[in-house]
Structure formats: C-alpha cells, structure tokens
Amino acid sequence: MKATIIFLLLAQVSWAGPFQQRGLFDFMLEDEASGISPDEHAPEIPELDPLGPMCPFRCQCHLRVVQCSDLGLDKVPKDLPPDTTLLDLQNNKITEIRDGDFKNLKNLHALILVNNKISKISPGAFTPLVKLERLYLSKNQLKELPEKMPKTLQELRAHENEITKVRKAVFNGMNQMIVIELGTNPLKSSGIENGAFQGMKKLSYIRVADSNITSIPQGLPPSLTELHLDGNKISRVDAGSLKGLNNLAKLGLSFNSISTVDNGSLANTPHLRELHLDNNKLTKVPGGLAEHKYIQVVYLHNNNISAVGTNDFCPPGYNTKKASYSGVSLFSNPVQYWEIQPSTFRCVYVRSAIQLGNYK
C-alpha cells in the first residue's frame, strides 16, 4: 500500500513535464554513490546514543528515509533523526502541524503529509526546512495554503483540500517552484488572486482541475509548459490570459462550459502541441489552428459544433505546418462526418489520427 502510493506520486511527478526532474530517491542514494565501499568502513558498531534521536517508535528508518505512514498517528512524532531527507507521514490522522514539529530537519528534501486530517499549519512550522523541495499536502482539510513555505520548494501538491483562496503573497519569492497542483478545491475564480502565479520564473506545470473556477487565471508565467484546468466552469478561452505563454505545450480545458475561444488564443501560444477542449459548448472549431505550426492534438468531441470548414484545420495553400496532427476528435457533435469535406484534413498524413464519428 505504502509503496503503491509513493509509486503513484512518483509516476505523477515524472509525467508532470519536460523539465529536468530529479528522481525523488536520488538524494537517498547519495551515500551509496559517494564511492566509499562498505568494506572500507571500520566494522560497524552501532552507536546508540541514549539521549540522541532514534527512529520514532513504530516508524521505519533506513537510508535517511523515515517511514511513518499508516500508523494512526494523531501528531507528528517527536525526535525525528536530524539527517532525515524524506519523511513519509501519509495515511495517518494528524490534525495539526505545529511550530517545532520539524525542528532540526534541515536536510529534509521531501515531506509527505497526504491523507491526514490537517486543518491547521502554524506559520513557523516549515521554517526549519531550509532544503525542502517537495511538499505533498493532498487529501487534508486545509482552508488555505500554508504561509512561509520554504523558498527552496520545487513542487507543491495540495489536491483535495478545502482551499478557497490562493493569495499572491504565499508564493512570494518562490523562485524554484516547478509544479503546483491544486485540483479539487472549492476555489472559484475569485479565490485565485490576480497574478498569484506570476513571479515564479521556473514554474512549468499548474493544475487546478475540478475547482469551479470560471476563467483562466490571470498573470501566468511565461515558463509554463502545461496548464490543466479541466472540470471547471470556464465559459470562454480568453486570449489575454494566454498572452506570452511561449512555452505552453499542453492546455487542458475539457469538461468546462466553453462556448467561445477568442481569436488570438492560439497565436498567443505558438508552441502548443495539445489542446483539450472536449466536453464543452463550442459551436465551431477554434480559429487559428490552420496557421498554427506545432499543434498535434485537438480534442473537440462532445461539443455543439454543427459545421466544419475546409480551412479550419489545414492551411489553404502549401502546407506550412511543422508538425502533423496525431489526434483530432470531432465525434459527438451535431456535424455529421459525411458532411465534412475530405480535403479538410489534407495536411494530415495518418488517417487514424482523425476521429470523426461513431461509424454505426
């Protein structure tokens, strides 16, 4: 169970984007990679300092990883070994994180608090964690993101909490941040402060799915490569909020109520490769696909598209596309596949890339 959940977290992490992802366990292996082979050590005599911190009762400690998951703990154990690099406290019943809970853990890289009952985090609780890179807080009862998160943080996951507000101040100076996951929180658009994500120069991945936001957040950083906003109540793709997103490769907007995609949305995202707009209320194919050089995947199934023009997907003359389509879906729309001119897909060389109808 434990292993499965860690594996799932890892799988998500490595899936998250094209940035250079350091393996979660790399830092644990540093000892082994240090070149000192075990036989060069003096014979192991366990040093038991009766006053020093040992492995907390019932936890398992190995290679600076402290595993305390699934133990029914209602608070963070005391006397955690100060050289800990990964602390796993998932699947417990912890309700509060207090100042001092993580004192001395100045080498901690990853803190896993997923699936507890945490509703309160004291403002100074994370201050000692001067090397923290990954903070996993998903499946708790937080109403707000913690204040004073370490500036070294690269990845924050706070999926499935009760967060209603994302204030700009919580991300102030977080210049190492790469991944932010805030899905399934009762956010609404008014909950995300304008420019909340703006200053983070390395931010590559944002996911705020299933959170009832009604518009694309404003002031997204140009470093962004993936933006996932599926399952919200967005009614329009606002070209302005996509302005400057030169690195955006994946845009997920499935299961919203989008009826309009502003002209210029695709021009503002010149390196977009995947656009997921299925399960919305579009009445036509978004403008700008034919001129776009890199778009490969366009999901438009389950919309209200009643006509498809011959220049909706492919440029009118000589094919100027640099990448061919690999996935276009149009099924479950009022348009019938036999009404679409075959020349509509003249720039597509793999027929199976196009899913038009449910060929009954």
Contacts with ligand NAG by CB under 6 A lie at 184-186, 210-212, 263, 281, 283, 287, 304, 306
CB of 97 vs ligand NAG, minimal distance in Å: 23
Nearer to ligand NAG, 306 or 341 (CB): 306
CB of 232 vs ligand NAG, minimal distance in Å: 9
Nearer to ligand NAG, 88 or 181 (CB): 181
State whether residue 59 is helix, strand or coil: coil
- Contact between 111 and 137 (Cβ < 8 Å): no
CB of 170 vs ligand NAG, minimal distance in Å: 19
Nearer to ligand NAG, 132 or 258 (CB): 258
Nearer to ligand NAG, 194 or 283 (CB): 283
CB of 214 vs ligand NAG, minimal distance in Å: 11
Distance of alpha carbon 163 from alpha carbon 146, whole angstroms: 10
Q: CA-CA-CA-CA torsion for 33, 38, 41, 44, nearest 10 degrees?
A: 120
CB of 123 vs ligand NAG, minimal distance in Å: 26
343: part of which helix (H) or strand (E)? Answer: none
- Contact between 132 and 108 (Cβ < 8 Å): yes
Residue number, nearest CB to ligand NAG: 186
* Other CB atoms within 10 A of residue 190 CB: 11
Distance of alpha carbon 239 from alpha carbon 264, whole angstroms: 6
Nearer to ligand NAG, 173 or 316 (CB): 316
CB burial class (10 A; 0-12, 13-18, 19+) of residue 281? middle
